[in-house]
């Protein structure tokens, strides 16, 4: 009999789904209307869970899976998983560390450029026929030069470093903050987010959200200043969204490029009408390449755990 796996989010790579189906009985939780009834029906025999970084899995659901041997996160953020409870039960929780770094960093660059150069707003201007109606150059406000901007990176893990490498090519002085300075990095460490914001023209959030909820608040945005830009490709809850909306509405910061939000897929209504904000739909790792590499890592973690081996990427065992 094939082991039973509970899949909390869809996987968009057909070859990964084919391999999962060949090896396991895949219970597609995300397709169920009555999820509680479904868990009552299949919960006892589930040996593995696949979940997304944003979805994670809480204690309440894990408690209903008594045979659970692994939680494989199809992503790198494990902030939505109850790691302490998994640890207590000896359940490995794995992530796809390293598989999506380049694509997430690429999107950060895209958002930096798009925000500073008003790419999305000007695209709308052209599509809406406004260029023809208002051909005078003054119809579109001048943008800001990204090359040479002082970039502050919040969280210097794999993604933070990949962002730093990319912005170096634009001649940007780079500083970063993290829990502590990271050995072997040539970029300047700044202790404290406020000090980093004061010394940056653009802040890029690359930090894990586990213990950093709301760290970007009114005070930090004020420190970033009216010429400053914020890019978030990490987690929405790193930012106090009300403070961000207020800072954008009142010109306390210049603009924002956001891939992630507090209550996805809901985006604060006020942001939708702002031309100095570029919005994405939690897409930073959404490439064929990353998602294939991520799926391969999920398959490997499941296979290891269900064969009684400690998966290499386990954070809890």
Name the residues annotated as catalytic.
235, 264, 282
Q: How many CB atoms lie within 10 A of CB 20?
A: 20
Closer to ligand 8YV by CB, 74 or 276: give it.
74
Residues 26, 295 contacting (CB under 8 angstroms): no
State the minimum distance, in angstroms, from the CB of residue 76 to ligand 8YV.
Answer: 4
Residue whose pair of structure tokens reads 């895949």 in the numeric block: 26
Q: Which stretch binds ligand 8YV (CB under 6 A): 50-58, 118-126, 214-222, 304-312?
A: 50-58
Closer to ligand 8YV by CB, 75 or 110: give it.
75
Closer to ligand 8YV by CB, 117 or 166: give it.
166
Which residue from 282, 295, 311, 316 is in contact with ligand 8YV, where contact means CB under 6 A?
A: 282
Determine phi and psi for 100, rounding to 5 degrees. Answer: -115, 5
Binding-site size for ligand 8YV (CB under 6 A) equals 11
Determine phi and psi for 234, rounding to 5 degrees. Answer: -105, -85
**Residues 150, 232: Cα–Cα separation, whole Å:** 16
State the minimum distance, in angstroms, from the CB of residue 54 to ligand 8YV.
Answer: 5
Closest CA to 77 of 282, 278, 287: 282
DSSP string of 255-292?
A: EEEES--TBTTB--HHHHT-TTEEE--S-TT-SHHHHH
Closer to ligand 8YV by CB, 232 or 285: give it.
285
Residue 292 found at the interface with ligand 8YV (CB under 6 A): no
Residue 285 found at the interface with ligand 8YV (CB under 6 A): yes
Instruction: Give the three-class secondary structure for 31.
Output: helix
Residues 26, 45 contacting (CB under 8 angstroms): no
Calculate the alpha carbon distances from 194 to 123, 191, 215 in Å. Answer: 34, 9, 10
Encoded one letter per residue, x for contact with ligand 8YV by CB under 6 A and - for no contact, window 228-267 reads ----------------------------------------
- Kindly calculate the radius of gyration of the chain based on its CA atoms and give it in whole angstroms: 21
State the minimum distance, in angstroms, from the CB of residue 208 to ligand 8YV.
Answer: 9
Residues 64, 287 contacting (CB under 8 angstroms): no
State the minimum distance, in angstroms, from the CB of residue 149 to ligand 8YV.
Answer: 26
Residue 48 found at the interface with ligand 8YV (CB under 6 A): no
Which residue from 3, 43, 48, 77 is in contact with ligand 8YV, where contact means CB under 6 A?
A: 77
Closer to ligand 8YV by CB, 20 or 76: give it.
76
Residue 43 found at the interface with ligand 8YV (CB under 6 A): no
Encoded one letter per residue, x for contact with ligand 8YV by CB under 6 A and - for no contact, window 85-104 reads ---------------x----
DSSP state of 138: G
Residue 160 found at the interface with ligand 8YV (CB under 6 A): no
Name, in order, each residue with C-beta under 8 angstroms of 178's C-beta and a sequence gap of 6 or more: 154, 155, 156, 160, 189, 207
Rule CB under 6 A: which residues touch ligand 8YV? Answer: 9, 52-54, 74-77, 100, 282, 285
């Amino acid at each position: 009999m094939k082991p039973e796996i509970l899949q909390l989010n869809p996987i968009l790579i057909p070859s990964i789904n084919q391999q999962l189906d060949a090896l396991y009985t895949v219970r597609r939780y995300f397709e169920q209307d009555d999820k509680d009834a479904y868990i009552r029906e299949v919960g006892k025999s589930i040996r593995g869970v696949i979940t997304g970084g944003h979805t994670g899995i809480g204690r309440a659901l894990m408690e209903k899976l008594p045979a659970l041997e692994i939680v494989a996160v199809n992503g790198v953020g494990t902030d939505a998983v109850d790691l302490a409870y998994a640890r207590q039960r000896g359940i490995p929780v794995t992530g796809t560390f390293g598989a999506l770094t380049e694509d997430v960093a690429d999107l950060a660059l895209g958002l930096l450029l798009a925000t500073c150069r008003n790419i999305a707003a000007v695209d709308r201007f052209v599509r809406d026929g406004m260029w023809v109606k208002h051909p005078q150059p003054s119809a579109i406000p001048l943008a800001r030069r990204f090359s040479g901007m002082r970039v502050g990176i919040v969280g210097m893990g794999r993604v933070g470093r990949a962002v730093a490498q990319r912005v170096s090519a634009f001649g940007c002085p780079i500083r970063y903050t993290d829990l502590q300075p990271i050995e072997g990095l040539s970029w300047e460490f700044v202790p404290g987010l406020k000090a980093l914001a004061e010394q940056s023209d653009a802040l890029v959030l690359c930090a894990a959200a586990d213990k950093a909820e709301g760290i970007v608040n009114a005070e930090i945005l004020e420190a970033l200043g009216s010429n400053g830009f914020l890019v978030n490709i990490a987690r929405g809850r790193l930012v106090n969204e009300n403070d961000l909306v207020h800072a954008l509405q009142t010109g306390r910061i210049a603009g924002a490029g956001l891939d992630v939000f507090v209550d996805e897929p809901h985006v604060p209504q006020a942001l939708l009408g702002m031309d100095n904000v570029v919005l994405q739909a939690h897409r930073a790792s959404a490439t064929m390449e990353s998602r294939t590499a991520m799926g391969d890592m999920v398959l490997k973690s499941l296979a290891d755990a269900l064969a009684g081996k400690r998966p290499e990427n386990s954070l809890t065992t």
